[in-house]
Amino acid sequence: MLEARLSSFLREGQRLQVSAAAVGAVALAVVLLLLPNWLSGYWLRITTSVLMFATLAQAWNIITGFTGYPAFGNTAFFGVGAYALAILVTKAGLGIPAAIVLAGLAAAAFCAVIGLPILRLQGHYFAIATLALSLFVREAAANLGWLTNGAIGIVLPTLASGSPEEITRPYYYLMLLVLVACCACTWWVSVSRFGYGLRSIKADEDAAACFGINTTLSKLVAWVLSAFFTGLAGAVWALWITFIDPQSAFNLAIAVKFSVMALLGGLGTVAGPVLGALLVEVLTQAIWGAFYAVHLAVLGLAIMLIVLLMPGGLMQLLRDRLATAKRLLATPSAKESWR
């Protein structure tokens, strides 16, 4: 039923693309599942970090890429997820899986409460309000000592012991699971009626309302989904680094990173934010190794160049190249040779 409805909406070409994407996704899944067997502890940590940032960039993509609301303050939900997990594990003694899911739900619930008033703002005002929100939650975490241990922070138990590879492995798989769930959700957004609604809100909110879209509810659901996955990533991150404090859990530098990644990959696409996260993280490592003293300056320069040379992101670039290739294949005629 669902499939029939779906496929009737996709034209032939799109259907082919979907099946190609499905094959690619399965191959990718196998590689990702086996990857920890081949990587050193160092590269496993970097890969886990790629997975985490890919999740954050993807979650941000739902509210910013699809809906057009620049929620830089998503770090608030990252921190709420991290703290919720730490509190649930150390104070309430909850099991890890339940604590992770509840931490994601806590971030989502927090977003549902503060979302309604903040989503009344648009553009820069919205962006700044979300930044203020993130700072506010950080101060709250620093001052609610009875719950959060204040500036002292919370120490968490480790999940595994042994070699560096063995220690990182469970976090790798947890992060992978969160990323896959987040990408699946984004894919659903990209093909569903709900996602079309979000995109029309991004294009023209008044016009969207005139089609009968409940814009207030759609925006809120989009942000709550974004907060849920951001919170899940924060929860797994807290487990992984085993010590959190307000400075590290509500770190705006994280927002700079995931937004650059999403922009670089391509907003409003499913694969873009993941590609962007991979590129930026690998680039960061390479530059860090090669230019130890000035690596931040070189990284900044690289990002500026990339944004200048491909403002539409990697996905746009790939799509353009693909379209050009198709055109060249379709018309090997006078026109092209004449040029």
Q: Sign of the CA dihedral 277, 76, 104, 167?
A: positive
Contact predicate 73/134, CB 8 Å:
yes
Residue 152 or 322: the one with the smaller Cβ distance to another protein is 322
| 335 counts as binding another protein under rule CB under 8 A | no
217 C-beta neighbours (distance < 10 Å), count: 11
| 14 counts as binding another protein under rule CB under 8 A | no
Name the minimum Å distance from CB 236 to another protein: 35
- d(CA 216, CA 218) in angstroms, rounded, equals 6
Residue 101 or 121: the one with the smaller Cβ distance to another protein is 121
| 12 counts as binding another protein under rule CB under 8 A | no
Contacts of 16 (CB under 8 A, 6+ apart): none
| 207 counts as binding another protein under rule CB under 8 A | yes
- d(CA 76, CA 7) in angstroms, rounded, equals 38
| 8 counts as binding another protein under rule CB under 8 A | yes
| 212 counts as binding another protein under rule CB under 8 A | yes
| 191 counts as binding another protein under rule CB under 8 A | no
From the list 25-33, 64-72, 103-111, 214-222, the region that binds another protein by CB under 8 A is 214-222
From the list 107-115, 140-148, 182-190, 209-217, the region that binds another protein by CB under 8 A is 209-217
| H-helix segments, the chain | 2-9, 12-34, 41-60, 75-90, 96-118, 123-143, 145-148, 164-191, 193-203, 205-210, 215-241, 246-249, 252-265, 272-290, 295-309, 313-330, 334-338
Binding test (CB under 8 A) with another protein, winner from 124, 193, 335, 339 = 193
| 320 counts as binding another protein under rule CB under 8 A | no
Binding test (CB under 8 A) with another protein, winner from 61, 215, 230, 284 = 215
252 C-beta neighbours (distance < 10 Å), count: 15
Name the minimum Å distance from CB 312 to another protein: 12
Binding test (CB under 8 A) with another protein, winner from 68, 73, 104, 197 = 197
Tokens at 200, concatenated: 């029309």
- d(CA 336, CA 339) in angstroms, rounded, equals 5
- d(CA 68, CA 65) in angstroms, rounded, equals 6
| 303 counts as binding another protein under rule CB under 8 A | no
| 158 counts as binding another protein under rule CB under 8 A | no
Residue 2 or 334: the one with the smaller Cβ distance to another protein is 2
- d(CA 176, CA 194) in angstroms, rounded, equals 26
> Is residue 244 helix, strand or coil?
strand
From the list 73-81, 201-209, 272-280, 316-324, the region that binds another protein by CB under 8 A is 201-209
- d(CA 76, CA 134) in angstroms, rounded, equals 4
From the list 146-154, 182-190, 192-200, 306-314, the region that binds another protein by CB under 8 A is 192-200
| 200 counts as binding another protein under rule CB under 8 A | yes
Contact predicate 53/281, CB 8 Å:
yes
The owner of tokens 């703290």 is: 83
Total residues in contact with another protein, by rule CB under 8 A? 19
Name the minimum Å distance from CB 339 to another protein: 23
Name the minimum Å distance from CB 11 to another protein: 8
Binding site for another protein (CB under 8 A): 5, 8-9, 193, 196-197, 200, 203-204, 206-207, 209-216
